[in-house]
Amino acid sequence: MGIVIYGASKATCTQRILATLIEKGVTDYELKTINLRAKEHKQPEYLKKQPFGVIPVLEDGDFLLHESRAICYYIASKYADQGVKLLPDPTDLKGNATFQKWASVEKDNWDNYASPIAFEKIFKVFRGGSPDPKLLEHYEAGFLPKLDVFEGILSKQQYMGGDEFSLIDVYYLPYTQKLFEAGYGHFITDRPHIKAWWDRVSARESWQKVLALP
């Protein structure tokens, strides 16, 4: 039996996993849709799989795993021998530490700003709330100097994890996409090297397939 992903095809963190599955050429999987409106992710049965009550979760036989980046990592490791190489070899000490470095950079210096901006401008509004201008200002002010550093980094390397496309770029996909939907696309398009990187990664067949899912 293949792996099962509990999630939703239009949800950011599930999209990250779907892009990984496509990049690795994995077709033997099932997406079990969690109905967020019906609060299935807050039901006792689901909370046994994911105590924080959020999607997604991976189930592979009796192995359960939550946290979308960890799930991507598992898929990229398990299917190391097929599809696009997304991770260093397991015994490559410096390669793996460098992977951890770029993964931390994504969380601390990009996701920590892009996610709450998307939350204020998209998810909160979807639930009938309004964006908090003070919080938006706080996150924008934090993000801008980081974006300038990213512009410098991407003037020296083609991808967020080095000179090759890798799992690190996949980590960035959903919330960078959301920046455009949140009205912050100029954060990307105003910076030539970031824009060139985004054009490269967002044009990949995997990401285009994920976006086209019903």
The nearer residue to a second copy, 66 or 211, going by C-beta atoms, is 66
Rank residues 138 and 186 by Cβ distance to a second copy and give the closer one. Answer: 138
Min. distance of Cβ 205 from a second copy in angstroms? 25
Q: Which is nearer to a second copy, 27 or 91 (CB)?
A: 91
Asked if 197 contacts 160 with a C-beta cutoff of 8 angstroms, the reply is: yes
Q: How far is the CB of 69 from a second copy (least distance, A)?
A: 6
Smallest gap from Cβ 136 to a second copy, in A, equals 12
Binding site for a second copy (CB under 8 A): 51-53, 63, 65-71, 73-74, 77-78, 90-91, 93-94, 96-98, 100-101, 103-105, 107-109, 112, 134-135, 138, 146, 149, 152-153
Closer to a second copy by CB, 144 or 149: give it: 149
For the bound state, the minimum distance from the C-beta of residue 193 to a second copy, rounded and expressed in Å, comes to 13
